[in-house]
A and B are shown apart, each in its own frame.
Chain A
Amino acid sequence: MVICIIALVVFSIAGLWSVRYRQLAREAFDCTFRTLTFQPCRTNLQDRIKMNVTSKLIGRFPSLARAFYKYFKIFSWIFVIIFFGSMFYTAYTVYNLIVYGTCDPSSSSATCTIKQAASFLGCGLETLFIYITIAVLSILLVYLVYKYVKLK
Chain B
Amino acid sequence: MDAKKIREDFPVLQQKIKGKQLIYFDSACMSLRPKQVIAAMNEYYEQYPACAGRSIHSLSQRVDEEYRKAREVVAKFIGAKPEEIVFTRNTTEGINLVAYSLGLKEGDAVVTSDIEHNSNLLPWQALFKKGVEHRIVFSGNMQFDENNFRKAMGSSVKLVSFVHTSNLSGYTFPAEKIAKIAHDNGSLVMFDCAQSVPHKQIDVHKLGADFIAFSGHKMLGPSGMGVLYGKKDLLEELNPFLLGGDTVANSTYETHELLKPPEKFEAGLQNYAGAIGLAAAVKYLEKVGMNDIEKHEEKLNEIITDGIAGINGLKIIGPQPAKLRGGIISFVVDGLNPHDIAMALDSTAGIAIRSGAHCVHSWFNANNMPRGSARASLYLYNTEEEAKIFIGKLREICNTLR
Secondary structure type dominating chain B contacts: helix
Q: Do A58 and B337 contact each other (CB < 8 Å), given the known contacts A66-B400, A66-B401, A69-B401? A: no
| Residue B396 at the chain A interface, CB threshold 8 Å | yes
- Whether B347 lies near A51 (C-beta < 8 A) is yes
The answer for the CA separation of A59 and B401 in the assembled complex, in Å, is 12
| Residue B340 at the chain A interface, CB threshold 8 Å | yes
| Residue B343 at the chain A interface, CB threshold 8 Å | yes
Q: Which of A1-9, A14-22, A42-50, A136-144 contacts B (4 or more CB under 8 A)?
A: A42-50
Closest approach, in angstroms, between the C-beta of A53 and any C-beta of chain B?
A: 10
The answer for the CA separation of A58 and B400 in the assembled complex, in Å, is 7
- Whether A58 lies near B343 (C-beta < 8 A) is no
| Residue A62 at the chain B interface, CB threshold 8 Å | yes
| Residue B397 at the chain A interface, CB threshold 8 Å | yes
Return the contact of B347 from the options A44, A47, A56, A66 (Cβ within 8 A). Answer: A56
| Residue A55 at the chain B interface, CB threshold 8 Å | yes
| Residue B339 at the chain A interface, CB threshold 8 Å | yes
Closest approach, in angstroms, between the C-beta of B336 and any C-beta of chain A?
A: 9
- 0/1 string, B337-368, CB within 8 A of A gives 1: 10110011001100000000000000000000
- Whether B344 lies near A51 (C-beta < 8 A) is yes
- Whether B400 lies near A47 (C-beta < 8 A) is no
Which chain A positions have C-beta within 8 A of B348?
55, 58-59
A51 to B, closest residue via Cβ = B343
Q: Do A58 and B339 contact each other (CB < 8 Å), given the known contacts A65-B400, A66-B400, A66-B401? A: no
Q: Do A47 and B401 contact each other (CB < 8 Å), given the known contacts A52-B347, A55-B343, A59-B348? A: no
**B345-402 interface with A by 8 A CB criterion:** 347-348, 396-397, 400-401
| Residue A54 at the chain B interface, CB threshold 8 Å | yes
Return the contact of B343 from the options A47, A62, A65, A70 (Cβ within 8 A). Answer: A47
B344 to A, closest residue via Cβ = A55
Which chain A positions have C-beta within 8 A of B396?
58-59
- Whether B344 lies near A54 (C-beta < 8 A) is yes
A64 to B, closest residue via Cβ = B400
The answer for the CA separation of A54 and B397 in the assembled complex, in Å, is 10
Which chain A positions have C-beta within 8 A of B344?
51, 54-55, 58
The answer for the CA separation of A130 and B339 in the assembled complex, in Å, is 48
Which chain B positions have C-beta within 8 A of A70?
401
The answer for the CA separation of A69 and B347 in the assembled complex, in Å, is 15
- Whether B400 lies near A50 (C-beta < 8 A) is no
Which chain B positions have C-beta within 8 A of A51?
339-340, 343-344, 347
**B309-339 interface with A by 8 A CB criterion:** 337, 339
Which chain B positions have C-beta within 8 A of A62?
400
Q: Do A58 and B397 contact each other (CB < 8 Å), given the known contacts A51-B347, A52-B347? A: yes
Which B residues lie at the A interface, using CB under 8 A?
337, 339-340, 343-344, 347-348, 396-397, 400-401
A–B Cβ pairs within 8 angstroms, 23 of them: A47-B339, A48-B343, A50-B340, A51-B343, A51-B344, A51-B347, A52-B343, A52-B347, A54-B340, A54-B344, A54-B401, A55-B343, A55-B344, A55-B347, A58-B344, A58-B396, A58-B401, A59-B396, A62-B400, A65-B400, A65-B401, A66-B400, A70-B401
What 10 pairs across the A-B complex have the smallest Cβ distances?
A: A55-B347, A51-B343, A62-B400, A69-B401, A55-B348, A55-B344, A58-B400, A51-B340, A65-B400, A58-B348
A48-B343, A52-B347, A58-B400 are known; give 7 further A-B pairs, CB within 8 A: A51-B343, A54-B344, A58-B344, A58-B396, A59-B348, A66-B400, A69-B340
